[in-house]
Structures are given as C-alpha cells and as structure tokens.
C-alpha cells in the first residue's frame, strides 16, 4: 500500500485512544483541569456509567470568550511556553490534548465565564468538529458536558466493562482526588443519587470517615515526614491520632492554583495516612500515592511502602494508604505517559528509601511491638524438670492418649468401625478418620490417620466446613438467622457500596438481613446462626473485595462465590489458638465434608505424609 497522510479525523481518534481509555479517563482529565483552574467546588454528574453523560462543573477561573475555541484544539495549553518548562511542571495538565481528544469521540459542550466578563461563552464540539462560539449567561467557572462517549468509535464502546465496573472506576478516581485536595468540595451524583460528597474543610480524616467509616478512619495512622538533605525528620502528633483529626487544617501546602509545591533545595516531604497492621485488604487497590498533587501508579513507591510493612503483615494482605509525596518539580519527570499516571524520579533510590523509612517509623511509633510468650503456643506451661528422651504421650491435650498402647487401640477401633466407609471412599477426594495429636503454631492441626500423618490448615478447613454447611442449608431452604442485639452500621467506599447494593438480594437469601442506611452506609440487622460471633462488617466487605485466590471453580454460580467469600472472612484465622474440643470438632466436621481436601477457592486444606514417605525420610526404607 502507498504511504499517505492520515486524515485529521483518524489521527484525532488514534490520539484520543491514548488519552481517553474509558469514562473514568474523561472524569480524570476534566477534574484535573478544574483543579488547575483553582476551583473550590467541583460537581460531577454521570449517567449510564458515563456512556450517556459526564458533566463536570467548577467555580474556577474560567476560560475567556476569545480563547474558548482555541482551548478545544489539539496541543493548545496555557501551562507551557517553551520546552524547558517540561522540567518544572507544577500543574496537573500540560499536554494540551485532553479537550481535543474528548471532543473527537463524543458530543462535547463547554460553557465558561471569567470573573471579569459579564457574559459567558459556549462551544459545541461534535466528533472533533467545532461550532461557532456563542455568548450565554453562565456563572463564573466552567461546565463541561460530555454526551454519547465513543458514539463514533464502536470498537472502543464494545470493549468497555460492565456499568458496575465503570462506575467503580469513576468513584475510586474521585475518591483519591478528594483525599489529595481536602480543601476542595467534591460532589458526585449518579442519576439523582449522590454517591460522594465532601465538606472541603481540609480535614482528611473526615473524608476517610465518609469513605471507609468512622472506625477505619480512627485507626488510620498519620504520617508526616520531611527530609532536608541527608537527614530525615518524622513529625508525630499522637493527640491528633487520638482525637481523630489531622494535625493540619489545610491538608497539604498548595500554590495559588491549588497544587502542592516543593521548590528546589527543600528536599522531600511525605504526608497522609497508613493503616495499622490489624487493618488490611486482600489486594493493592487501596494503596494510593500522589506526587506533587498528581495521582500516580508508580511501582517503586508501592514497593517501598510494602517494604515498610515487611514481616508485619500476613502473606497476601495489603495496607490501606493515602500518601502524598512532595518533591522538587525538577527532580521528577511527569512527561512519561499520555495519561500522566507514571513518573520517573531523578534519584529513585533516595525516594524509595525516604518513603520506606518514613512509613516504617510511623508504624513503629504508633504500633506496639508484640511480645513473644509461651501462651502463643497454647495454655500448657513448660515443664521445669528435664524429660527423658523418647515419646511422652502425657503432653496430649486434656490427658488424651495417656500411653502409646491406648492411643493405638483407639485408632484400631476407629479403623474397624469405619472399614466399610473407607473401602468406598477414594483418598483423592475424601479423608479417613483422623486422630488428633495437637496444634502447631496456632495455625495447623496435626492428626494421625491409618495411612500416615496429616497436617491440616485450620483456616482453610474451617472455610470448607462453613461453606458446605451454608450451601446445604440453602439447598434445604432453611438457613436459620439470628437478629443482632445492636444492629451493625457499616460504611463502604462509593465503588464498593454500589457492588454491595447489587448483591443484597443474594445476601438476604443466605440469612443476612442488610438494608441501606444512608449514602454508602448499610445496617446489618441479622446474620445466619452459623456465623454467630462473627464480625458483620467483615462479612459485608468480603462480598465487595476482590480476592487473590482462584475462584474459577465457582464462576458459574454467583451465590456460591459470595458464600465462599463470606466463609473465608468469618472462618478461624491462622495464629488463633483453639482448644482441644475445638480442634477435635473441626476435624470431625472436615471428615463429614463432601470435598474436604480443598477450600472453596481451591486451596488445599491438608498435607498428607504417608508412612512410606516418613520411613524414607528417616532412612528406614531405601534411599531418599
């Protein structure tokens, strides 16, 4: 084919594909423009998950009448003049591509007025074609209305996610900017319902409370650290932590345009909140970083934060964080990716070390170091007199198996009684009758079977037991429920609240009684008796969280997948000491399960060491 220049229409849509990936991309670009304009109030309205309408209105500086047409042109911006300015960027936008890209794939209307003008101006852009600017009455600020997004790019429209996923992406984005700019009042409406509204009073902890609930906001640890040269200073304010308010009212320093600024020679500063080790999530989605007021997805910053939590969190658990790094503009390159979501640091190792040390110091300052004691391994005291070398069955729980002979007799009797059942059972799916020996590390149960030793993961085993009991009760349509003495009120982030609202019918069929109790807030009035004593808030969060484990065995059935998530959250945890009766009951319940070898997510509940394997390991039978 001959080489030819692309038409302006095709080139515009190609360029738009780099900037506008989904409705949330439009909200991001327009919100950043509002913040660059010094807006103190930003109102965002969406319909049909942003496909039908996205409207962002602000009270910023506005766009003059004679510049409005130019503002919708490609590579037109007021934030750069010469190439050297790329190394001193202090605004969120600078490429001059956002409005042109959005206008090329939608019906876009811009209405704006500056304070010095008596009338406003309006410009319509349909598929990249601009109309004539007209004078209209309008308040000071800018209102940008985007309708029928991707109407002329059906391929992009086809590959958008479900409405719930797209709405969650928008809510998550605005949530992050609400935390980064606490002095700005944000309001998000989906149709007629307000999903997010902040006061704009500079209180970040109040925003955390609105997003995650008062209990979570109260637990969050405040980080305030600054570095000037080689030394690092951590600023602590324990009184602010106890009172639940940030120690600063302004949230973070800002320039006149509303963006944080760190001039050259001032080093770095880090502020925000991190969660204690007792408050975690199953994925990294709640780890948020802003660099000079810009939300970024930088792997090195996330790695530095997780390094600060090293040895303090269980595998597969991640903290909740909202951290804001201020660094000299010439020390960070934001001109890396069209979406401006990636940055590069001039001194990568220095930034990594600063973030890691600052977060670690805050954790150690607020979190007491746990003391190791024999009670971690059970209630039995350590004998003061030395024992003779050999097997001593007297250490078994509650005097069980006083001697080896009696223990073996019990095993033989159990084997005889279960002989018929074991002949029909296949060891690939079922388990034989097990004799409890004890608990190791408050996490694993040790049991003996007729064919060797079994190590049972108490969390995975209890998860399987709860799941099969709950599903059996559902099959019989008889899930007993128990009303809570005091209803539990749970507040979720906007994106999670929408998901939970969609899943409420499923929860109610499983014996829960959950109802909406205000914006992004729910009230748990009853729970299944099977989960009595469990935390209702954990059960609700389990429904909306994405799990790290493979749920492919349950993809075909939504109810089974939700039941598995709830059972996982409410099952006994690793590190929880169980009494002998609890251990024995768990083993018996596991034996009765139809699929006792794995938890509902496919993770193994036990490891089997056969007698033959043990003999080989100890050199009694052949080579290793």
Report which of residues 581 and 421 the model is more confident about: 581
Give the integer Cα–Cα distance in Å for 101 and 93. Answer: 14
Q: Is a pLDDT exceeding 50 seen at residue 534? A: yes
Q: Which of 547, 559, 566, 468 has its CA nearest to residue 506?
A: 559
Answer yes or no: do 93 and 167 share one domain: yes
Largest CA distance in the chain: 100
Report which listed range, 117-121, 550-554, 612-616, is most confident: 117-121
- DSSP per-residue letters across 158-201: HT---HHHHHHHHHHHHHHHHHH-TTSEEEEEETTEEEEE---S
pLDDT at 510: 80
For residue 249, the model assigns a pLDDT of: 34
Q: How far apart are CA 519 and CA 198, in angstroms?
A: 12
Q: Which residue has the higher pLDDT, 250 or 214?
A: 214
Q: What is the mean pLDDT of residues 559-565?
A: 75
Answer yes or no: is pLDDT of 319 > 70.
Answer: yes
Co-location of 248 and 177 in the same domain: no
Q: Which residues, 6+ apart, have CB-to-CB distance to 38 below 8 Å?
A: 60, 61, 256, 257, 258
Q: Is the pLDDT of residue 552 over 90?
A: no
- Region 73-90: mean pLDDT is 61
Give how far Cα 227 sits from Cα of 291, 305, 324, Å: 15, 17, 14
Are the C-beta atoms of residues 215 and 540 closer than 8 Å to each other?
no
The predicted-structure confidence for 51-73, as pLDDT tens digits, reads as follows: 999 999 999 999 999 888 888 88
Confirm whether 136 is domain-assigned.
Answer: yes
Provide the pLDDT for residue 87: 60
State the helix-helix crossing angle for 163-180 and 23-36, rounded to 10 degrees.
Answer: 20
pLDDT greater at residue 411 or residue 171: 171
First to last CA, the chain: 66
Residues 6 or more apart in contact with residue 409 via CB below 8 angstroms: none
Query: Distance between CA 224 and CA 238 in Å, rounded?
Result: 12
CA distance 141 to 124: 17
Looking at the structure of the chain, the number of domains it has is 3
pLDDT for the residue 75: 67
Residue 220 buriedness (CB in 10 A; 0-12 / 13-18 / 19+) = buried
Instruction: Classify residue 594 by its DSSP letter.
Output: S
| Confidence band for 332, pLDDT divided at 50, 70 and 90 | confident
Average pLDDT over residues 602-619: 82
**pLDDT at residue 254, as a whole number:** 37
Q: Which of 56, 54, 68 shows the shortest CA–CA distance to 113?
A: 68
3-class secondary-structure state, position 250 = coil
Which pLDDT belongs to residue 101? 87
Question: Given a cut of 60, is residue 200 above it in pLDDT?
Answer: yes
Q: Is residue 417 part of a domain?
A: no
Is 413 contained in some domain?
A: no
Say whether both 43 and 92 belong to one domain.
Answer: yes
Over range 539-547, report the average pLDDT.
69
DSSP state of 293: T
Mean pLDDT score of the chain, rounded to an integer? 76
Q: How far is CA 547 from CA 278, 285, 569, in A?
A: 18, 11, 11
Give me the pLDDT at residue 561, please: 74
C-beta separation of 445 from 455 below 8 A: yes
Question: Which stretch of 46-50, 181-185, 289-293, 342-346 has the lowest confidence by average pLDDT?
Answer: 342-346
Q: Are 499 and 168 in contact (CB under 8 A)?
A: yes
For residue 12, is pLDDT > 80?
A: no
Angle between helix 163-180 and helix 204-212 axes, rounded to 10 deg? 160
Are 474 and 595 found together in one domain? yes
Instruction: Label each residue of 120-168 as H, E or C.
Output: EEEEEEECCEECCCEEECCCCEEEEEEECCCCCCHHHHHCCCCHHHHHH
In this predicted structure, which of 108-112, 164-168, 227-231, 576-580 has the lowest mean pLDDT?
Answer: 227-231
Residues 186 and 214 grouped into a single domain: no
User: Any idea what the CATH number is for the domain that residue 209 is in?
Assistant: 3.30.230.10
Which of 341, 365, 389 is a domain's end point? 365
Q: Is the pLDDT of residue 265 over 50?
A: no
Tell whether 96 and 218 lie within a shared domain: no
The answer as to whether 390 is a domain residue is no
Report the pLDDT averaged over residues 240-244.
Answer: 35
pLDDT band at 412 (very low <50, low <70, confident <90, very high): very low
The closest alpha carbon to 539, from 569, 494, 512, belongs to 569
138 and 283 fall within a common domain: no
pLDDT reported for residue 79: 58
- Supply the CATH number for residue 131's domain: 3.30.565.10
**What pLDDT score was predicted for residue 47?**
93
DSSP secondary-structure letter at 283?
A: S
Average pLDDT (187-195) is 88
Same domain, 50 and 179: yes
Report which of residues 475 and 102 the model is more confident about. 102
Helices 536-544 and 494-509 cross at an angle (nearest 10°) of 110
Residue ending a domain, among 195, 226, 241, is 195
Band of residue 34 on the pLDDT scale cut at 50, 70, 90 = very high
Asked if 207 and 251 count as a contact pair (C-beta separation under 8 A), the reply is no
Do 97 and 185 share a domain, yes or no?
yes
CATH of the domain at 545: 3.30.1370.100
Domain that holds residue 118: 8-195
Residues 103-124 have a mean pLDDT of 93
Q: How confident is the model at residue 279 (pLDDT cuts 50, 70, 90)?
A: confident
41 part of a folded domain:
yes
The band of 258, judged by pLDDT with boundaries at 50, 70 and 90, is: very low
Last residue of a domain, one of 365, 400, 434: 365
Segment 261-273 mean pLDDT? 69
Residue pointed to by tokens 């790695």: 303
The per-residue pLDDT for 468 is: 86
Regarding whether 242 and 163 lie in a shared domain, the answer is no
Strand 193-197 vs strand 185-190: parallel, antiparallel, or unpaired? antiparallel
Please check whether residues 329 and 309 belong to one and the same domain: yes
Q: Could you give the CA distance from residue 352 to residue 198 in angstroms, rounded to a whole number?
A: 32
Residue 508, pLDDT > 70, answer: yes
So what's the pLDDT on residue 304?
92
Q: What is the pTM of this model?
A: 0.62
From residue 387, how far is each of 297, 373, 395 by CA, in Å?
58, 21, 11
Alpha helix ranges (H) inside 425-577: 458-475, 494-509, 536-544, 558-570
The confidence band for 606, taking pLDDT boundaries of 50, 70 and 90, is confident
Residue 616: both structure tokens together: 């080989």
Residue 197 clears pLDDT 50, i.e. is over it:
yes
Has residue 378 been placed in a domain?
no
- 134 and 83, same structural domain? yes
Share of the chain above pLDDT 90, in %: 22
On whether residue 43 sits in a domain, the answer given is: yes
Looking only at the bridges linking them, the beta strands covering 481-491 and 521-528 are: antiparallel
Query: Tokens 């349509």 map to which residue?
Result: 477
Domain membership flag for residue 620 = no
Split at pLDDT 50, 70, 90, the class of 81 is: low
Nearest to 305, CA basis, from 359, 383, 236, 369 = 359
For the chain, what percent of residues have pLDDT higher than 70?
A: 73
HSE-up of 134 (CA within 13 Å, CB side)? 8
Residue 223: per-residue pLDDT? 93
Pair 449, 434: CB distance under 8 Å: yes
């Amino acid at each position: 084919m001959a080489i030819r220049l692309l038409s302006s229409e095709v080139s515009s849509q190609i360029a738009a594909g780099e900037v506008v990936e989904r409705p949330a991309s439009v909200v991001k670009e327009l919100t950043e423009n509002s913040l660059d304009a010094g807006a103190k109030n930003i109102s965002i309205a969406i319909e049909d998950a942003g496909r039908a309408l996205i409207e962002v209105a602000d009270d910023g500086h506005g766009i003059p009448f004679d510049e409005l047409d130019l503002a919708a042109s490609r590579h037109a911006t007021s934030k750069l003049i010469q190439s050297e300015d790329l190394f001193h960027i202090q605004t969120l936008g600078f490429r001059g591509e956002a409005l042109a890209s959005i206008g090329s794939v939608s019906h876009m209307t811009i209405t704006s007025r500056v304070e010095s003008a008596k009338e406003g101006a309006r410009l319509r852009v349909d598929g990249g074609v601009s109309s004539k600017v007209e004078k209209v009455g309008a308040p000071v600020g800018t209102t940008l209305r985007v309708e029928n997004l991707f109407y002329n790019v059906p391929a992009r429209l086809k590959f958008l996610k479900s409405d719930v996923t797209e709405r969650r992406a928008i809510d998550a984005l605005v949530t992050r900017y609400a935390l980064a700019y606490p002095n700005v009042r944000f309001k998000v409406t989906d149709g007629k319902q307000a999903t997010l509204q902040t006061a704009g009073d500079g209180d970040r902890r109040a925003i955390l409370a609105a997003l995650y609930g008062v209990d979570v906001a109260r637990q969050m640890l405040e980080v305030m650290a600054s570095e000037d040269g080689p030394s690092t200073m951590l600023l602590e304010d324990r009184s602010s932590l106890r009172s639940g308010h940030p120690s600063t009212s302004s949230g973070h320093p800002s320039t006149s345009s509303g963006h944080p600024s760190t001039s050259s020679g001032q080093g770095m500063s880090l502020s925000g909140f991190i969660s204690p080790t007792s408050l975690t999530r199953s994925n990294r989605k709640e780890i948020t970083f802003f660099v000079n007021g810009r939300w970024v997805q930088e792997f090195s910053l996330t790695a530095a934060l997780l390094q600060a939590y090293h040895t303090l969190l269980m595998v597969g658990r991640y903290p909740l964080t909202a951290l804001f790094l201020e660094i000299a503009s010439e020390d960070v390159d934001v001109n890396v990716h069209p979406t401006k979501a990636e940055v590069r640091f001039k001194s990568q190792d220095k930034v990594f070390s600063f973030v890691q040390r600052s977060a670690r110091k805050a954790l150690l300052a607020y979190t007491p170091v746990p003391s190791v004691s024999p009670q971690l391994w059970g209630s039995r005291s350590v004998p003061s007199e030395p024992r003779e070398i050999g097997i001593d069955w007297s250490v078994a729980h509650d005097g069980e198996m006083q001697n080896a002979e009696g223990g073996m007799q019990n095993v033989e009797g159990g084997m005889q009684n279960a002989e018929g059942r074991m002949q029909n059972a296949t060891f690939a799916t079922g388990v034989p009758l097990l004799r409890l020996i004890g608990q190791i590390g408050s996490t694993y149960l040790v049991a003996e079977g007729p064919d060797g030793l079994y190590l049972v993961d108490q969390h995975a085993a209890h998860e399987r037991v709860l799941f099969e009991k709950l599903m059996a009760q559902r099959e019989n349509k008889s899930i007993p429920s128990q009303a809570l003495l005091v209803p539990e009120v749970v507040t979720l982030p906007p994106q999670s609240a929408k998901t939970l609202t969609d899943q409420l019918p499923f929860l109610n069929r499983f014996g829960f009684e959950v109802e909406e109790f205000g914006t992004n807030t729910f009230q748990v009035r009853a729970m299944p008796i099977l989960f009595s004593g469990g935390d209702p808030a954990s059960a609700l969060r389990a429904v909306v969280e994405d799990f790290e484990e493979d749920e492919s065995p349950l993809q075909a059935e939504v109810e089974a997948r939700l039941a598995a998530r709830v059972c996982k959250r409410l099952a006994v945890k690793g590190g929880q000491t169980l009494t002998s009766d609890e251990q024995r009951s768990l083993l018996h319940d596991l034996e009765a399960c139809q699929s006792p070898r794995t938890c509902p997510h496919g993770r193994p509940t036990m490891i089997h060491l056969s007698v033959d394997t043990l003999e080989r390991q100890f050199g009694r039978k052949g080579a290793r």
